[in-house]
A and B are shown apart, each in its own frame.
Chain A
Amino acid sequence: MTTLVLGVGHPDRGDDAAGPLVAEALLGTPGIDARAVTADPSALLGQAGWDTASQVVLIDTVRTGARPGSIHYWSGTELLEHLPATGGGTHDLGVATTLQLAAALDRLPANLTVIGIEGVRFTFGAAPTAAVERAVAVVTGALSRGSWIGID
């Protein structure tokens, strides 16, 4: 069984790089198909394995007001219950809208885990903060050991 790990974010915008950094660190890990999704999140639905992988783990930087570097994890269904009603953006769909769209199309993976890493710095060209770098290492280690996968 292969777990599809999708790290969402922009590699050049400070803490938003957390998802791609985790995906990069997991490349080559047995049992894990890790990919960085560095642009329009609606591309998640076109990823090979989105509809078929036994487990899908999505990692993204979030802003909830928690301490920077805090790690949140939700099952896909749990997260959907707490997402606000959405409208349209101008340029792409965003992770929240993409997950809701997947649910509306009955294409939400049966076993989806969403890991959020609390970010604080999103300046273009900035490196991730030390707190987020530590969180990236923690999440990478946990996923490589099989933790936090399939909590739904």
Chain B
Amino acid sequence: MSHTHDRTISVEALARVEGEGAMHVEVTDGRVDKVQLRIYEPPRFFEAMLRGRSYVEPVDITARICGICPVAYQFSAINALESLCLGPDHQPPAGIRQLRRLLYCGEWIESHVLHIFLLHAPDFLGYAGAIEMAADHRELVEMALRLRKAGNQILEVIGGRAIHPINVRLGGFHRTPTRAELGTLEDELTWGREAAIEATRLVAGFDFPALDQEHTFVSLRPEPETLPPGATGYPIDGGRVVSSTGLDISVEEWPEHFYEEHVAHSTALHGRLRDGGNYLVGPAARFSLNADRLPDDLRALADEVGCTPPVTNPFRSIIVRALETVYAFDEALRLIAAYEPPTVPAIDVPATAGTGHGATEAPRGILYHRYTLAADGTITDAAIVPPTSQNQPAIEEDLVDFVQAHLHLADDDLQWQCEQAIRNYDPCISCSTHFLDLTVIRR
């Protein structure tokens, strides 16, 4: 084996220490043999830490896993624990369910806006990053910061603070806001909805590299009979698990159809379908399986910008994120208008022996939690399956084709192109500047 090129690029000192991704590529006689992506995966540690703790604790503890999507962790944990302890037919009152979905809308707005405008748009507009883009597109960046702030405000009003909300508990909230408090959000959300519509038109005009990847899409899909009046039921805070290959199961059936496996090159587990193959969760999957669940005007917007299911070019996921951002603003306004303040901020959730399963749609895809409890509520087992570990095999598969098509590039350029390709999936990797340590071995 000749080792003709081996290059490593490091992160710089003041980068946040959320971990980093590494990519290993092997090429023989001009053909890509292997692409391995290593992604840091914190939930493994949390699963171990949760064992022996009380069933009321995962709501706060798992929120710490991710600074961008703490709400997703909170509500996947709540869904799992309440489905076990309350049973499928007994749910908290409408007002609590409305606040949960509203809080989740805030998180979608924050996460999607960050990704669309500050991380992904610079790739399409030809800038190294948001800073360089800000010099020429100041209004766009200012708009993005204002949109994010609108999402933050939802988290502050309902969650108690913008990051790692502290007001959420099993059974409901520690304190529920008044109608008037939610009303303070409306003006900015109304502005945000219109701004997000314009942003959707803007990003739909980007030039997208040609890439067509066929994957099995998996997402949640709420049952129509569970929807409150006025809701169209685009998946956010629950639903059945459906796929583009015809799967339609309850969340309780998840372990029978999905599994995770260890791979030698990564600390992250890889999610796979038990009947074989990889799958993809996230905005493209959600939209492809649930476009009919968008309100009529948003479906019309999707048609107008040429975004129709299935979305098989991962670069076009930025359009879906923009559409979902509009939906999150739209849904937030609907929920505020429909809000029925509950008579109690939380209902009692008694400890129950058994196993509970829960899933929600984090901004980057399905987040599944499973907890097994003893009769006194002690957690004896916990499993957390984040979207990034589910997507990782599919990302690697896509990268084989992508790297093959770009092998003529120098390593610097190849790294940059690969970072852009990986960014399509918005994985939980790192916030460091150059997140990828790329090693290319050419034989």
Contact = CB atoms under 8 A, between A and B. Distances in A.
Nearest to B39: A90
B129 A91 contact: no
Interface stretch (B11-19, B191-199, B280-288, B348-356): B11-19
Nearest to B43: A124
B119 A86 contact: no
A37 to B, nearest CB: 7
A62 B431 contact: no
Contact of B68 (A91, A97, A122, A125): A91
B14 A94 contact: yes
Nearest to A47: B162
A111 to B, nearest CB: 20
Interface stretch (A11-19, A26-34, A136-144): A11-19
Given A41-B16, A43-B163, A86 B134 contact: no
Contact of A87 (B68, B149, B163, B416): B416
Interface string A59-92: 0111111000000000000000001111111111
B152 interface: yes
B433 A89 contact: yes
Nearest to B21: A90
Interface in A1-57: 8, 10-13, 16, 37-43, 45-46
Given A41-B16, A62-B14, A91 B431 contact: yes
A91 B435 CA distance: 10
Contact of A64 (B13, B149, B163, B422): B13
A128 interface: no
Contacts of A122: 17
Given A46-B149, A86-B433, A89-B435, A10 B162 contact: no
Contacts of A87: 122, 128-129, 416, 419, 433-434
A86 B114 contact: no
B431 A41 contact: yes
Given A94-B431, A105-B142, A88 B162 contact: no
B42 interface: yes
A105 B435 contact: no
A93 B431 contact: yes
Contact of B15 (A45, A96, A100, A105): A96
Main secondary structure of the interface of A (DSSP, over half): loop
A116 interface: yes
Nearest to A63: B13
B430 A90 contact: yes
A131 interface: no
A90 B128 contact: no
A39 B163 contact: yes
Given A90-B435, A105-B134, A105-B141, A40 B122 contact: no
A132 B416 CA distance: 35
A84 B42 contact: no
Contact of A91 (B49, B128, B135, B430): B430
Contacts of B163: 37-40, 43
B41 to A, nearest CB: 10
B131 A100 contact: yes
A97 B18 contact: no
Contacts of A109: none
Interface in B369-427: 416, 419, 422-423, 426-427
Contacts of A60: 14
B384 to A, nearest CB: 13
A101 B429 contact: no
A21 B423 CA distance: 32
Contacts of B70: 39
A11 B70 CA distance: 14
Contacts of A89: 119, 429-433, 435
Contact of A40 (B14, B68, B429): B68
Contact of B17 (A10, A96, A104, A125): A10
Contact of B433 (A40, A61, A94, A125): A94
A42 B129 contact: no
B14 A95 contact: yes
Contact of A94 (B16, B21, B162): B16
A16 B17 contact: yes
Nearest to B424: A90
Given A43-B152, A86-B131, A96 B433 contact: yes
Given A39-B67, A90-B426, A91-B426, A97 B134 contact: no
A46 B129 CA distance: 19
A12 B46 CA distance: 11
Contacts of B142: 105
B316 interface: no
Contacts of B265: none
Which 5 pairs show the lowest CB-CB distances between chains A and B?
A39-B67, A104-B134, A92-B431, A39-B163, A100-B131
Interface of A: 8, 10-13, 16, 37-43, 45-46, 60-65, 83-97, 100-101, 103-105, 116, 119, 122, 124-125
Given A65-B13, A96-B15, 14 more contacts: A39-B66, A40-B431, A42-B145, A43-B148, A46-B148, A89-B429, A90-B426, A90-B431, A92-B431, A93-B114, A93-B130, A93-B431, A122-B17, A124-B42
14 contacts: A11-B64, A12-B64, A13-B17, A40-B68, A42-B118, A88-B119, A88-B419, A91-B18, A91-B426, A97-B433, A101-B130, A104-B135, A104-B141, A124-B42
